[in-house]
């Protein structure tokens, strides 16, 4: 074993008290006995009047007092300077420059709460530095052994039947406090202890900050009497979820290693679930299209595997519209909501919206049963617009889907907005316009944009038209529109400038905005009919 002191940035420390257990050193505490649990990272010898330039904090400073000033005030200043530099303790060797530790130094150290150890003449400083190095090495070896045991326990939990919940339980056992695992929508997937799920509300701001960070990132924040550590879990550029640990005191270096060992296990599990989930979602979408097309008999044979079966008639068709992130959060809330685990709620993603079917159950006009549980699961997703159709049979789902779409489009607001088809005006402006004349109007207004698309790259038309529609739907507000499109607001501005160039008119004109909005809606109606 090396006699050299460990590097100051090795991360491993021992309490000053542990050095006193080495009886062969003969150390005696003269001051600062209440601070002997202070962590010490290494030992450093210096006789300078001001050695702080060479200190990093956490050192045991060894000296014989060769350069120590003789005055009481000067010694007090010397100790204060060391305390400010966060020195862990002072080791004063007697029998050379001083026959005993100066009383003024002892008094100053006691006032500063800085441990002061008397080193006898027979004990060389080299023996002390060796003892510090050996003690830190023992702690490091013990921590590494504990880490290996923890890694084995975490791996066994991850591959066992308990899955992610078992991993969280193991983290809780190893570091205490509470632990949460959340999906990318902020829904709690596992918690330990179970009551820890209630801490999710404390993480809202932290999750928002990590969501904006590129790649995997972590942060530590103090919330009242709890220190919370949050780590984002990613696969490449794909956000998978978050792990959060909370407890009264900060994690030690060894505990951080234990938690870090759990991160790849949870990431791998979430990524595997994501891959499986993508195939499942594609299957759900295909089967849902069949159901909405009137093929309920065909769908019933596989609905039990996908959604616990089909709801009884009559049913409500529901549709959610929002930003991509909010839609993901909405879908994952439906999937993760325990009260919906055994419910018969059909759902799937169709053309960037979340669509589903649920049993139309009411009591005194108020939703109950699976319908009430569904709406409660979706509540709180910012910017989510939920449209609900009139009760219908499976043979009427196509019309009910149209009702849900109109209700979702009618809903506005930054909070979760639930709109029933029965509550919106029955006859809209589009229904008042003759179909043929309306198609001519829409084609005339949108022709410059379609011409641009035919001459440019594939998809240019869809990109410009969708960007224009979303921007108009948000009343020309850049940030909300860009958020729904999933692009930067500068990108959206560039697209709208291109629209103005093609039209030869400025979008500031309310008449032009009204014409474009009407033309886009008429174009959508024509596409649905065809």
Max intra-chain CA distance, the chain: 109
Q: Residue 275 pLDDT > 60, yes or no?
A: no
Least-confidence region, from 148-162, 187-201, 354-368, 399-413: 148-162
Question: Looking at per-residue confidence, does 253 or 198 come out higher?
Answer: 198
pLDDT attached to residue 94 = 93
pLDDT attached to residue 125 = 93
pLDDT digits (tens, 9 = 90+) for 231-245: 888 877 777 889 899
Question: Looking at per-residue confidence, does 340 or 152 come out higher?
Answer: 152
pLDDT bucket at 83, cuts 50 / 70 / 90: very high
Nearest to 246 by CA among 182, 184, 187, 185: 182
Q: What pTM does this model have?
A: 0.43
d(CA 107, CA 167): 51
Burial class (CB in 10 A: 0-12, 13-18, 19+), 479: exposed
Q: Residue 455 pLDDT > 60, yes or no?
A: no
pLDDT attached to residue 149 = 76
pLDDT attached to residue 11 = 63
276: Cβ contacts below 8 Å, ≥ 6 apart: none
Q: What is the residue-averaged pLDDT of the chain?
A: 83
Give residue for tokens 């992610």.
Answer: 164
pLDDT attached to residue 528 = 57
pLDDT bucket at 465, cuts 50 / 70 / 90: confident
Helices 163-175 and 253-292 meet at what angle, rounded to 10?
160
Helices (H), 160-230: 163-175, 204-212
Helices (H), 348-389: 369-378
Q: How large a percentage of the chain has pLDDT more than 70?
A: 88
d(CA 339, CA 347): 16
Least-confidence region, from 133-147, 345-359, 384-398: 133-147
pLDDT digits (tens, 9 = 90+) for 478-524: 888 888 888 888 999 999 999 998 888 889 888 888 888 888 888 77
Least-confidence region, from 13-17, 297-301, 321-325, 364-368: 321-325
Return the half-sphere exposure (C-beta side, CA atoms, 13 A cut-off) of residue 122. 5
pLDDT bucket at 2, cuts 50 / 70 / 90: very low
pLDDT bucket at 31, cuts 50 / 70 / 90: very high
pLDDT bucket at 81, cuts 50 / 70 / 90: very high
Q: Residue 137 pLDDT > 80, yes or no?
A: yes
pLDDT attached to residue 4 = 38
Q: Which helix (H) or strand (E) holds 182?
A: strand 178-183
pLDDT attached to residue 341 = 67
The DSSP call for residue 171 is: H
d(CA 524, CA 71): 90
Q: Are 493 and 479 spatial neighbours (Cβ–Cβ below 8 Å)?
A: no
Least-confidence region, from 84-98, 124-138, 369-383, 515-529: 515-529
The two tokens of residue 397 are: 């789902």
């Amino acid at each position: 074993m090396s006699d050299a002191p460990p590097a100051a940035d090795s991360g491993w420390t021992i309490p000053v008290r542990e050095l006193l257990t080495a009886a062969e050193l003969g150390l005696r505490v003269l001051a600062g006995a209440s601070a002997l649990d202070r962590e010490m990272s290494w030992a450093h010898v210096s006789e300078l009047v001001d050695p702080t330039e060479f200190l990093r904090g956490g050192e045991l400073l060894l000296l014989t007092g060769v350069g120590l000033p003789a005055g009481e005030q000067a010694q007090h200043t010397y100790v204060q300077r060391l305390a400010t530099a966060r020195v862990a303790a002072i080791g004063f060797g007697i029998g050379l420059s001083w026959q005993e530790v100066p009383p003024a130094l002892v008094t100053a150290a006691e006032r500063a709460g800085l441990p002061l150890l008397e080193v006898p003449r027979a004990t060389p400083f080299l023996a002390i530095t060796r003892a510090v190095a050996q003690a830190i090495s023992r702690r490091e070896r013990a921590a590494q052994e504990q880490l290996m045991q923890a890694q084995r326990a975490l791996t066994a939990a991850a591959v066992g039947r308990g899955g992610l919940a078992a991993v969280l339980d193991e983290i809780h056992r190893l570091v205490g406090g509470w632990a949460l695992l959340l999906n990318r929508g902020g829904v709690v997937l596992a918690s330990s202890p179970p009551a820890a799920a209630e801490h999710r509300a404390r993480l809202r701001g932290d999750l928002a900050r990590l969501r904006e960070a590129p790649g995997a990132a972590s942060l530590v924040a103090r919330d009242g009497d709890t220190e919370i550590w949050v780590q984002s879990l990613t696969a490449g550029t794909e956000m998978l979820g978050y792990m959060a640990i909370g407890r009264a005191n900060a994690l030690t270096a060894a505990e951080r290693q234990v938690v870090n060992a759990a991160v790849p296990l949870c990431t791998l599990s979430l990524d595997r679930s994501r891959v499986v989930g993508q195939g499942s979602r594609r299957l759900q979408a295909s089967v849902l299209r069949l159901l909405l097309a009137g093929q309920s008999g065909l769908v019933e044979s596989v609905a039990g595997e996908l959604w616990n079966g089909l709801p009884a008639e009559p049913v409500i068709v529901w549709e959610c519209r929002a930003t991509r992130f909010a839609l993901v959060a909405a879908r994952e809330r439906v999937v993760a909501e325990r009260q919906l685990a055994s419910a018969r709620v059909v759902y799937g993603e169709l053309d960037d919206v979340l669509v589903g079917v649920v049993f139309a159950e009411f009591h005194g006009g108020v939703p109950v049963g699976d319908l009430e549980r569904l709406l409660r699961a979706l509540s709180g997703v910012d910017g989510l617009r939920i449209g609900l159709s009139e009760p219908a049979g499976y043979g009427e789902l196509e019309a009910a889907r149209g009702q849900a779409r109109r209700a979702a489009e009618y809903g506005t607001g930054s909070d979760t907005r639930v709109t029933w088809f029965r509550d919106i005006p029955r006859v809209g402006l589009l229904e008042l316009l003759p179909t043929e004349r309306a198609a001519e109007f829409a084609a005339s207004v949108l022709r410059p944009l379609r011409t641009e698309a035919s001459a440019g790259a594939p998809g240019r038309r869809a990109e410009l038209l969708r960007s224009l529609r979303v921007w108009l739907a948000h009343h020309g507000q850049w940030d909300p529109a860009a958020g729904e499109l999933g692009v930067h607001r500068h990108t959206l501005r560039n697209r709208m400038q291109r629209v103005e160039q093609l039209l030869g008119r400025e979008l500031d004109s309310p008449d032009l905005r009204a014409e474009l909005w009407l033309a886009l809606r008429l174009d959508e109606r024509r596409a649905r009919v065809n």
